[in-house]
A and B are shown apart, each in its own frame.
Chain A
C-alpha cells in the first residue's frame, strides 16, 4: 500500500532527512518517490532497504549526472527519485553495505556542494526579504493618508 507524507527538510539538514528515511525503512515504510516536501512510501518488509541522498553538481537529467546515476545503479543500488539536484538512492540490505562516500575527501566535497547550495539559498532568501521590506516601506510611504 502506498501513502504520501508531507514533511519539510532544509537543504543543510539532509543528514537528518536521510536518517528519517532510514528510520521509516526500518519500520517497513520504503520511499518510492519524492517531490517538493512530499514523500511517497510503500509498505514492505521492515529493514529491507537502506537509503542515501546526494546533491549532484548538475541536474539529474544532465549527461554527467546520468552517467553517475547509472554507475551507482551498477553497484546494486536503485535510483528512487530526484528533486532539483537531489538524488535519492536505495539498496537492499541483503546486497551488503551501502554508502555513497567512504573517505573524508569525497564526504567533504559533498558537504561543500551542499554548503554552497545553502549559501545560495541564504543569499536569495535575504535578497527576497530585503526586497519585501523595501516594498513594504514604499507602500507605507505612498499609501493614501500618509
Chain B
C-alpha cells in the first residue's frame, strides 16, 4: 500500500506557508503575513523558513517565480499540487474539530 504524501498531516509552519502563498510573496512577506494571520502567535524564523521553502519547492508544492528586473527578492507561489495538499489538510482539520467538538459536548451533557 502506498500512502500518498498528500495525506500526511502538515506542520503548522508548512500549513501557513502554503496558505500565504496563494498570492506571490517573498520570504520576508511570508513571515509577516503568517505573523499577522496568526495574530502574532506563529513567528517563523528566517533560517527555518528558508529550509521549509526549499523542501516545499523540492516536493513541488510551491514554485519560485522567475525573478523580476526591479527586485532581487525571490518570490514564491503555490502550485496546483500544493493547493490539493492544503485542501486535504483542511478536510482533515475539519474532521478533527468536528470529532473533538461532538465528543467533548457529549461528555459535558
Residues of A within 8 A of B (CB): 54, 68, 70-72, 74-77, 97, 99-103, 105-106, 109-110
* Of the residues B13, B45, B72, B73, contact of A100 by C-beta under 8 Å: B45
For residue B27, CB closer than 8 A to chain A, the reply is yes
Q: In the assembly, what is the distance between CA of A77 and CA of B13, in Å? A: 21
- Decide yes or no: A74 and B73 within 8 Å by CB, A103-B13, A103-B48 being known contacts: yes
Interface size on B, residues (CB 8 A): 19
B50 with A102: CB separation less than 8 A? no
Q: How far is the CB of A15 from chain B (nearest CB, A)?
A: 15
A101 with B48: CB separation less than 8 A? yes
For residue B47, CB closer than 8 A to chain A, the reply is yes
Q: In the assembly, what is the distance between CA of A70 and CA of B67, in Å? A: 14
Known: A71-B46, A75-B31, A109-B51. 20 other contacts (CB 8 A): A68-B50, A70-B72, A72-B50, A74-B28, A75-B46, A77-B46, A99-B43, A99-B45, A100-B46, A100-B47, A101-B45, A101-B48, A102-B13, A102-B43, A102-B44, A105-B11, A105-B48, A106-B48, A106-B51, A110-B47
